[in-house]
Structure 1
Amino acid sequence: MGKKLGFLVGLAAGAAAAHVAYRRLSDEDKAELKADLQEKMDVAKDRAVDYAFYASDAWDDFKENLSDQSQTVSKKVKDAASQFGDARLKPATDDDDSLRSELADVSTSADDDSDDIVLNSEDTFGGADVADEATSSEDDQQDAEHTDNEPTDDTKKD
């Protein structure tokens, strides 16, 4: 509340001082002061009008630019949609029909009761059974390990 009161007191004191100073001026000085203030007011009005025109021009340019950009984007979207629609909705051609028939042939051939391919070791490895060879090689390795760890007859005698 103190700041507002101080501001109002200062404003009132300044207005009183200006009124007293104006009353003390001569008629010629009063006329000169009025003309000077009128000239400054005219300059301020002209500037305000100029800035209003600048703002109006800037707003018009912005609206025109926005309109152009929205039309450009709209045209691009329509072109993309028409290209997508053309690709999706184009009538079937002979190439499409041949592809469809090939796919139908593949699906029907997969549906038939054809046997799976079964490989056995005789056909693949010429009659040798890989599982038997693997177990026999493991047995050979185990036998070799036992013989290495066991003392031989010659070492037992010593």
Structure 2
Amino acid sequence: MGKKFGFLLGLLAGGAAAHVAYRRLDDAQKEQLKEDLQDKVDIAKDRAVDYAFYASDAWADFKETFAEQSESVSDKLKTATAQFENQHFSKADDDEASSEDLRSELADVATAADDDSDDIVLNSEDTFGGADVSDVTETEETPAEDADTADSTESTSNKPEA
């Protein structure tokens, strides 16, 4: 609170001294003081306007630079996206192209099968000399099944009774 009071007291004392000094000046000195003060005010206004123009130019430059940079970043992003799509989706395009090739080959095979070419047809009589293969496999499997059953009964019979 003391600092505020001291500042206010100094301001009042300075104002009173300036008023007393102004009253003691003659008319020519008063006019000269007013002209000097008006010149200083005009210079301050000019500087304020100049700084406002500087700030406006700086803001316009910033917006232009920002627009250029954002456009550059946007172009780089689009390029990177296109490269990414080309790298990752070209495989899918290749797969689609290869599946189209396979479909066309299968269609060619189907039309080739429809023609009247001689096919190789095998039957069991020609291949195995008339032997009945189903009887042979059944007789071979029967003893193996009996042995498995005998082994399981023996393993249970060898256990001591409790």
TM-score after normalising by structure 1: 0.57
1:32-79 C-alpha deviation (Å, 9 max, x unpaired): 100110001101111111111111111111111111011001101111
Task: Note the 1:20-99 alignment, pairs <5 A.
Answer: 20-90=20-90, 91-92=93-94
Q: Which amino acid aligns with 1:76?
A: K
Instruction: Measure how far apart 1:9 and its partner are.
Output: 0.8
Q: Which amino acid aligns with 2:94?
A: A
Q: Which amino acid aligns with 1:15?
A: G
Task: Note the 1:93-112 alignment, pairs <5 A.
Answer: none
**What is the identity percentage for the equivalent residue pairs of Structure 1 and Structure 2?**
61
Q: What RMSD in Å do the two structures reach over aligned CA positions?
A: 2.1
Instruction: Measure how far apart 1:94 and its partner are.
Output: 9.4
Q: Secondary structure at the match of 2:53?
A: helix
Q: Which amino acid aligns with 1:55?
A: A
Unaligned runs of 5+ in 2: 100-162
Q: Which amino acid aligns with 2:49?
A: V
Unaligned runs of 5+ in 1: 98-158
Instruction: Measure how far apart 1:93 and its partner are.
Output: 6.4
Q: Secondary structure at the match of 1:42?
A: helix
Report the Cα distance in structure 2 between the residues aligned to 1:95 and 1:21, rounded to whole angstroms: 99
Q: Secondary structure at the match of 1:51?
A: helix
- Runs of at least 4 residues off by over 2 Å: 86-90, 93-97
Instruction: Measure how far apart 1:7 and its partner are.
Output: 1.0
TM-score after normalising by structure 2: 0.55
Report the Cα distance in structure 2 between the residues aligned to 1:63 and 1:82, rounded to whole angstroms: 28
C-alpha spacing 1:9/1:94, structure 2 compared with 1 (3 Å): closer
- Count of aligned positions: 98
